[in-house]
Amino acid sequence: MKNKIYIGLLLIAFIFQASIVRVGAEEFDYKSKEFEAAASQFMCTCGCGQDHFECDPKTCNLTIGFKEDIVEMMNKGWNKDKIREYYVNIYGEEILTAPEKSGFSLVAWVLPFVVLGIAGVAIFFIIRKWVKKKGTDEGALDNDIDKDEVEEEILTSMIEEERKKYL
Amino acid sequence: MYLFANATIYVGLALAIYSLLIITLGISTKNQKLINSGKGGVIAILVCASMAMLSLFYLLATSQFQYEYVTDYTSSELPIIYKLTALWAGNSGSLLLWTFFLVLYTVMIAFSRKMRGNPMVPYISAILLGNIVFFFLILGFVAKPFILLDQVPIEGHGLNPMLQNPGMIIHPVTLYLGYVGLAIPFAFAMAALLLKNVDDFWIKMTRRWTIIAWLFLSLGNIFGGQWAYVELGWGGYWAWDPVENASFMPWLTATAFLHSVMIQERKNMLKIWNISLIITSYALTLFGTFLVRSGVLTSVHAFANSNLGLYFLIFMGVAVIGALYVLMSRYSLLKRSAGEFNSYISKESSFLINNLLLVGAAFGVFWGTVFPLVSEAVRGTKVTVGMPFFNTVQAPILLSMMFVMAVCPLLAWQRSSLKNLKKNFLIPAILAVVAMALMVVLGIQKAWAVIGFGVIVLLFITHFLEFYRGVKARRKMTKEKVYLSLYRLMTKNRRRYGGYMVHIGIAFIAMGIIGSQNYDVQTMKTVNLGDSIEVKDYRINYERLDQKREGINDIVYAEMTVFKNGKRIGNIMPEKVFYGNWDQPSSEVGLISSLKEDLYVVLSDWEDDGKATFIVKVNPMIAWLWIGSFMIVIGSLFAVWNGKYQNITPRYTGVRKEVS
């Protein structure tokens, strides 16, 4: 008899489990930080251009089921990485809001900084070249100034000599 | 009406072709009469473009549903203002607006008082006419605004409700003025190269037009952000959507030009680089249009079912290749006058770093925008590149940019010695570090936020010192009162102090971004009538749920009273609007804004018994975004304003006038 009661209770639990989960989903704060970490990884495909954390369930039917599924997975103890892996396996990388940081997609993340780094080094060398050029020019200019001063001194002394002769 | 409206397009096209040919002939034969005839043609084109605009406004305002465009974008119950603004809701209408602005700018240049007798005018006019011909060709044969339907529908499809917002009235207009505006510096650059003369006059005129285009691009982006914040209901203002990126990229490269042109002005250097920035900015505006009109990328802004993008891509290719050819053919001329730097540490060097970061940021945005296409082409896998990518890549670059912006004002032109650096930076740096320590003590402990706010504090101090030292030096000589001295200091050097005002505006915007990105709090609660939602210091009493009808739209709204720390601060009424002729409802948010933070409430869902679900957000420092935006506008206007001391435009010193 006891066994029959247990089986009956299990059956009732099984029948109503969906509504229990649903109640759980309804009461879940879809704007909590934990939910954000998991749901904001995935792009909503309804055309709203938002992720599943931001997408308003009132205006998008697609996100309602998605949000409930994520809550279900979170209740099972799945972390955001496991949830991510699960969806990427089904829908591919396109479902993510940003490319993966591995394989070819890593190029997306790295290239802007590589270009910036190379351009930065190039600018350093350009500035160095311009500063050096200035240094060389200044050196040449100093020589010119010295030369001019010597010439001027010779000229002044010659004038002085001539003046002495006639005055 | 049909004949008249279409005639405005085709006559406009014929006149544009005539003017282009006659001006080109006038240039090659040095015949002023032909040039004058072409300039007269430009006026006639403006008349045609204006008539085309007025025709479409008239058809939209009077709901003439026999026209495809009117049916597609309006309905009879639409308020008159939105009937009129539907002109830029669709492809052909927005291209007509673009054409009108382009012709308007061309007339302004061709008949400008400052440009009178200048031999650059025919060249600039011809280059802009080349653009005008392209746009009229598109309007005449690809995206026709005046197509008649076989059967006249009783009612139109209506305007996308998202576009029924005051922000949307002005956002596209300012953005187009910015896009079109960048064609002017491009035309100036090409004309200068063709005439082999990139002198002070060129710099002055190009910079002025670039600031104007930059200001409109800034306004366009700001209005777009403000619209997204109040209309889309997600509490954000910038989503790194491909179309937003398309307007941000030329903004970045134009900003780079506005700084690097100062080196050309002072040292006669970077000519090739500056012209390349102008070409890039112009090409990026065409690239943006290609993105919006081609549908190659998914975007909430995209115009559906259009092959227009291809034409823009071809036009962009022709324009860029032509521009590069002209640039290369004048390479030796531009290279000849290259100067040199006096020191590693100087204002000149900091401007180069500034250019590196701005162009680097533009490249980062470009790369992220096109990466889905690259990924698909290389390995056949589609990827989405959204906000997490752009925030991660752009945050360090733009933060470095803020640092350079903070440091630059106190660096001397030519050479900054170590002693000079120590003298200028020791106190601001100490104060910034103290401010950062204070932030940590007060509970701001996220590393990015502390560093970001620290850099902003440094920026405020260095900019304050610039004003302080200028006023002090002036008062020493003139003994003027402080405010008078400040006023005269600024008005005698509008560009410099206008630029500083823009910097301060950018710092305010950065404050808003850092605050709202790092310290927002949000929750989603389902409550019964009479219950409260508590978030941070706020208690929001949910008092009433009701429904009203406005025209053919049904509006469900909730009445709520907001308390902060137990004190009543106001009422809000978040709404959900259901449109009679549109499937998707839209949200009107309930908003209480202060300098510290915004309380942002969205009515998400409800039941018959009055139970309702609300999304409640507390977004810190959002108001600073709008204050900063206002500062940018004021600063830009201050910089370009023709004040008492700014009327002098350098004399044109180029080739002898043959035709003008």
Q: Could you please report the per-residue DSSP string of B56-92?
A: HHHHHHTT-TTBHHHHHH--TTS-HHHHHHGGGTSHH
Which residue of chain B has the CA closest to A47? B300
Q: How far is CA A165 from CA A154, A162, B321, B516, in A?
A: 17, 5, 75, 90
Contacts of A115 in chain B (CB under 8 A): 360, 363
Residue appearing with tokens 């089921």: A65
Sign of CA dihedral B580, B581, B585, B587: negative
| Cβ contact, residue pair B298, A47, below 8 Å | yes
Amino acid (1-letter code) at residue B83: K
With a CB cutoff of 8 Å and minimum separation 6, the contacts of B144 are B6, B9, B92
Residue ranges of alpha helices (H) inside B157-270 are: 166-181, 183-194, 200-231, 242-267
pLDDT of residue A143: 44
Sign of CA dihedral B160, B164, B169, B174: negative
pLDDT of residue B53: 96
Which residue of chain A has the CA closest to B371? A108
Q: What string of H, E and C letters represents the secondary structure of A54-82?
A: CCCCCCCHHHHHHHHHHHHHHHCCCCHHH
| Terminal C-alpha separation, chain A | 148
Mutate to test the interface with A, among B277, B340, B584 (most CBs of A within 10 A): B340
Q: Is A62 on the interface with B (CB under 8 A)?
A: no
Average pLDDT score over residue span B195-216:
84
| Cβ contact, residue pair A43, B384, below 8 Å | yes
List, for residues B102-120, the tens digit of each pLDDT value: 999 999 999 988 888 788 8
pLDDT > 80? residue A71: yes
Dist CA B256 CA A40 (whole Å): 34
Nearest to A59 among B298, B343, B584 (CB): B584
The ipTM is 0.84
Choice among A26-35, B50-59, B216-225 with the minimum mean pLDDT = A26-35
List, for residues B22-40, the tens digit of each pLDDT value: 999 999 888 888 999 999 9
Dist CA B651 CA B199 (whole Å): 9
List, for residues B518-571, the tens digit of each pLDDT value: 888 988 889 999 999 999 899 999 999 999 998 888 999 999 999 999 999 999
| Cβ contact, residue pair B388, A31, below 8 Å | no
Residue ranges of alpha helices (H) inside B232-346 are: 242-267, 271-294, 308-329, 331-336
Contacts of B234 in chain A (CB under 8 A): 50, 54, 56
Rounded to 5, what percent of chain B is helix, strand, coil? 65, 10, 25
Chain B, window 288-327: residues with a beta carbon less than 8 angstroms from a chain A beta carbon:
298-300
Q: Is B349 on the interface with A (CB under 8 A)?
A: yes
User: What b/e string do you get for B197-216 counting C-beta neighbours within 10 Å, with b at 16 or more?
Assistant: bbeebbbbbbbbbbbbbbbb
| Cβ contact, residue pair A112, B353, below 8 Å | no
Distance of CA B641 to the CA centre of its chain: 19
Choice among A46-60, A133-147, B484-498 with the minimum mean pLDDT = A133-147
Amino acid (1-letter code) at residue B266: R
Are B613 and A27 contacting, i.e. CB atoms less than 8 angstroms apart? no
> Which pLDDT band, with edges at 50, 70 and 90, does A8 fall under?
low
Average pLDDT score over residue span B182-188:
93
Q: How many CB atoms lie under 10 A from the CB of residue A146? A: 10
Contacts of B363 in chain A (CB under 8 A): 112, 115-116
List, for residues B404-426, the tens digit of each pLDDT value: 999 888 887 766 677 777 878 88
Pairing of strands B532-535, B538-550: antiparallel
Partners of B597 in the β-ladder: B620
Q: What string of H, E and C letters represents the secondary structure of B466-492?
A: HHHHHHHHHHHHHCCCHHHHHHHHHHH
pLDDT > 50? residue B370: yes
B521-527 sheet: strands from edge to edge: B521-527, B612-620, B597-606, B590-593
Task: State how far residue B362 is from chain A, nearest Cα, in angstroms.
Answer: 10
Average pLDDT score over residue span B380-408:
91
Q: Is A45 on the interface with B (CB under 8 A)?
A: no
Partners of B344 in the β-ladder: none
Dist CA B86 CA B581 (whole Å): 15
Are B229 and B622 contacting, i.e. CB atoms less than 8 angstroms apart? yes
| Cβ contact, residue pair B344, A127, below 8 Å | yes
> Which pLDDT band, with edges at 50, 70 and 90, does B266 fall under?
confident
Q: Which residue has the higher pLDDT, B524 or B363?
A: B363
DSSP code of A42? B
Residue of B216, B92, B225 lying closest to B168 (CA atoms): B225
Sign of CA dihedral B191, B196, B201, B204: positive
Choice among A140-149, B156-165, B260-269 with the minimum mean pLDDT = A140-149
Nearest to B360 among A56, A58, A115 (CB): A115
Task: State how far residue B384 is from chain A, nearest Cα, in angstroms.
Answer: 5
Average pLDDT score over residue span B448-455:
93
Mutate to test the interface with A, among B244, B383, B556, B557 (most CBs of A within 10 A): B383
List, for residues A108-122, the tens digit of each pLDDT value: 999 999 999 999 999
Mutate to test the interface with B, among A29, A118, A131, A132 (most CBs of B within 10 A): A131
> Which pLDDT band, with edges at 50, 70 and 90, does B649 fall under?
low
Q: Is A56 on the interface with B (CB under 8 A)?
A: yes
Where are the strands (E) in B551-638, listed by range? 553-564, 567-572, 575-578, 586-588, 590-593, 597-606, 612-620
| Cβ contact, residue pair B383, A115, below 8 Å | no
Which residue of chain A has the CA closest to B392? A109
| Cβ contact, residue pair A98, B382, below 8 Å | no
User: Where on the phi/psi map is residue B479: left (φ > 0), alpha (ψ -120 to 50), or beta?
Assistant: left
Q: Is A31 on the interface with B (CB under 8 A)?
A: yes
Pairing of strands B575-578, B586-588: antiparallel
Q: Which two tokens stand for residue B227?
A: 């619209």
Dist CA B414 CA B398 (whole Å): 26
> Which pLDDT band, with edges at 50, 70 and 90, does B297 fall under?
low
Sign of CA dihedral B155, B231, A47, B372: positive
Largest CA distance in chain A: 148
Nearest to B344 among A51, A99, A131 (CB): A131
Q: Which residue has the higher pLDDT, B516 or B307?
A: B516
Chain A, window 7-26: residues with a beta carbon less than 8 angstroms from a chain B beta carbon:
26
Task: Give SS3 for B611.
Answer: coil
Chain A, window 74-133: residues with a beta carbon less than 8 angstroms from a chain B beta carbon:
92-100, 104-105, 108-109, 111-113, 115-116, 119-120, 123, 126-128, 130-131, 133
Provide the angle, in degrees to the nearest 10, between the axes of the packed helices B2-29 and B120-141.
Answer: 150
> Which pLDDT band, with edges at 50, 70 and 90, does A146 fall under?
very low
pLDDT of residue A17: 46
Q: Would you say how long chain A is, in residues?
A: 167
Average pLDDT score over residue span B236-264:
90
Distance of CA B46 to the CA centre of its chain: 25
Average pLDDT score over residue span B237-252:
89
Q: Which residue has the higher pLDDT, B165 or A148?
A: B165
pLDDT of residue B25: 92
Residue appearing with tokens 């690259």: B374
Q: What value does the mean pLDDT of chain B take?
A: 88
Are A63 and A46 contacting, i.e. CB atoms less than 8 angstroms apart? yes
Q: Which two tokens stand for residue B544?
A: 């009433």
User: What b/e string do you get for B479-495 counting C-beta neighbours within 10 Å, with b at 16 or more?
Assistant: eeeeeebbebbbeebbb
Q: What value does the mean pLDDT of chain A take?
A: 74
Contacts of A26 in chain B (CB under 8 A): 526
Dist CA B40 CA B85 (whole Å): 30
pLDDT of residue B619: 93
Average pLDDT score over residue span B588-608:
91
Residue B380, φ and ψ in degrees, nearest 5: 70, 15
Computed on alpha carbons and rounded to an integer, the radius of gyration of chain A in Å comes to 39
A-B Cβ pairs (cutoff 8 Å, strict):
135
With a CB cutoff of 8 Å and minimum separation 6, the contacts of A16 are none
Q: What string of H, E and C letters represents the secondary structure of B39-65?
A: HHHHHHHHHHHHHHHHHHHHHHHCCCC
Q: Which two tokens stand for residue A23?
A: 């109640």
> Which pLDDT band, with edges at 50, 70 and 90, does A145 fall under?
very low
